[in-house]
Amino acid sequence: MGKVYLTGAGPGDIDLLTVKALRVVREADVIIYDRLANPDILKEAKPGCEFVYVGKQDGRHTLPQDQINEVIYQNALKHENVVRLKGGDPLVFGRGGEEAKYLRERGVKFEFIPGVTSAISVPAYAGIPVTHRGVAVSFKVVTGHETPNKKESQVDWEAMKADETIVFLMGLHNLRTIAENLIRIGRPEETPCAVISKGTTPEQKSVTGTLADIHRRVAEADIQTPALIVVGKVVELKRDLEWIEEAE
């Protein structure tokens, strides 16, 4: 029985892959990867390494999560070094904890290899620091897409009244609802907001606006997934700190 490395692939730019992640990729006998992992990372694998795609996109899943868990387990029975490569960080809405629990219950050794999370890196590549002295002293990372079979949402909207930065991951299709909920709890309609698509990649594109008009602006710009949403005064810093898109 082998060992599974639950590995963060980073947000997209291959240069943001960690040294440790690169090492285990190069040593892997099999790599089980998702849609958001940069495919160029697979080119670093050794000859003979197997590749298993288990990506998910807009509700269309190659495999449901319980089957993905089993695929990882079965590969651990056959291979010494198994890399489960996940976009961003495996423990930030990446279900890495669920996969680790499944392996632990079956006696399989595993290791977490953190990745650079898109929650911080993508805003940074758009010129938006999630905290900034005198502007925001804290930030919150929230899922923008919950499991549809939940009886009720676990998102605590009332806790978002504070004047802090909020980053929503996987929330593009729920953008209008997110903006309406924030306005409903008391965040001003003129609160700055940004939506960043395909962040840290050559296809990066961003749109800024306010809670009142961001949905319209995003629709007009035809922003595509994967995308994240940043809400808060730090968005205004983009005018002075933008570097990737400005350079292009």
Tens digits of residue pLDDT in 108-118: 999 999 999 99
Model pTM above 0.85: yes
Q: Give pLDDT, residue 144.
A: 87
* Model pLDDT for residues 162-219, shown as the tens digit of each residue: 889 999 999 999 999 999 999 999 999 999 999 999 999 999 999 999 999 999 999 9
* Ranges of residues in the chain whose predicted pLDDT is under 70: 57-61, 146-152, 246-248
* CA nearest neighbour of 160 among 141, 134, 137, 133: 141
Total residue length of the chain = 248
Amino acid at 58: D
Q: Give pLDDT, residue 112.
A: 98
Catalytic residues: 34, 56, 170
Amino acid at 242: E
Give pairs for 63-69: CB < 8 Å, separation 24+: 65/95, 65/98, 68/32, 68/99, 69/98, 69/99, 69/102, 69/103
Give the helix/strand (H/E) hosting 220.
Answer: helix 214-221
Cβ pair 7, 115 in contact under 8 A = yes
Cβ pair 79, 60 in contact under 8 A = no
Q: Give pLDDT, residue 146.
A: 60
Cβ pair 8, 88 in contact under 8 A = yes
The residue to which tokens 């940069």 are assigned: 38
